[in-house]
Chains A and B, each alone.
Chain A
Amino acid sequence: EDQVTQSPEALRLQEGESSSLNCSYTVSGLRGLFWYRQDPGKGPEFLFTLYSAGEEKEKERLKATLTKKESFLHITAPKPEDSATYLCAVQPIYNFNKFYFGSGTKLNVKP
Chain B
Amino acid sequence: GAGVSQTPSNKVTEKGKYVELRCDPISGHTALYWYRQSLGQGPEFLIYFQGTGAADDSGLPNDRFFAVRPEGSVSTLKIQRTERGDSAVYLCASSSGRTGGLDEQYFGPGTRLTVT
Q: Do A and B bind each other?
A: no
